[in-house]
Amino acid sequence: MAAALRERGVKILTPCAVRGIETSSGTVSGVVTEYGRIGCASVVVASGAWTRYFMGSLDVDVPQLMVRSSVMCPSPVEGGPDVSACNRNMGYRKRLDGGYTIANAFHSYHDITPDSLRLFGKFLPALRSQIGSLKLGLNTRFMQELRRPRRWPLDRPIVFESVRMLDPAPNDTFNTTALTEFRAIFPSLAAARSEQAWAGYIDVTPDAVPVISGVERRPGLFIATGFSGHGFGIGPGAGRLMADLVANDTPIVDPRAFRLSRFFDGSRIEIDGGF
């Protein structure tokens, strides 16, 4: 994808942290990176789990929290299923090397943070819908985020430069449950042993629907975040919709359902599914 973009004249800078966004008379005028300023009239913030924190520095409230999902990969085995499937305790997908990517399909973990308290009211319906599948925990991350500055100067290094990638520890209990279920369903694969495990933060919104939207009071500023675990599946369509919004073209779909303002204009928040 990067090669195809470069062939079309797109410049990709990595690793290159964005420190902030500059405005002129309330309108976007540039982006300040760790390597210097880039002048522009439009900016799309699609920074996943970092989006709420970054946008907060611009006084833009994005109601978004993070849940941590864990995944594991057992050693390659023969005679296993070729199709992907899941139940309430386990989901699996065959890999090209003959092994499987396995996860505790409908279970995730949320580290309680100051934002958890700030957004409790908006996320209460989602919390109720996730009873039994979402585990809550209070740990050192609460104080880490409490101490984290909510504003910062753009002429010095910031957290996005010291933490290049969010790489949380996997939940061993979730992974063990998933592997045990996998072996129980496919007894012939009982020899499978865990070879690798990892975790990642999912950016979730109160209604598990992404924000693909301009910021009404900041012309030129756009947000694409909160995909709630479905980003790979709907990424191409979301990218097309965002391109339409930035270019002021006729949107490929009605963008109203994805507007940021739905969380503040009195609209009823409904939960269609989990994250």
In a domain, 268, yes or no: no
Instruction: Write out the two tokens for 73.
Output: 């990969």
Where are the extended beta strands (E) located within 112-255? 134-137, 194-204, 211-214, 221-225
Distance CA 201, CA 110 (A): 9
Higher pLDDT, residue 80 or 59: 59
128 belongs to a structural domain: yes
The boundaries of the domain holding residue 200 are 17-263
Residue 34 lies in a domain: yes
The residue with tokens 């990595």 is 14
Mark 59-93 as b/e (b = at least 16 C-beta within 10 Å). ebebbbbbbbbbbbbbeebeebeeeeebeebbbbe
Is 196 part of any domain?
yes
208 vs 106, residue with greater confidence: 208
Terminal CA-to-CA distance of the chain, rounded, Å? 27
β-pair partners for 125: none
pLDDT (tens digit, 9 = 90+) per residue, 159-197? 999 998 889 999 999 999 999 999 999 988 888 888 899
pLDDT given at position 272: 61
Residue 194 counted as domain residue = yes
Domain contains 99: yes
Q: How confident is the model at residue 273 (pLDDT cuts 50, 70, 90)?
A: low
Number of domains within the chain: 1
- Is 87 among the domain residues? yes
pTM for the full predicted model? 0.89
Question: Residue 221, CB half-sphere, CA atoms under 13 Å: how many?
Answer: 23
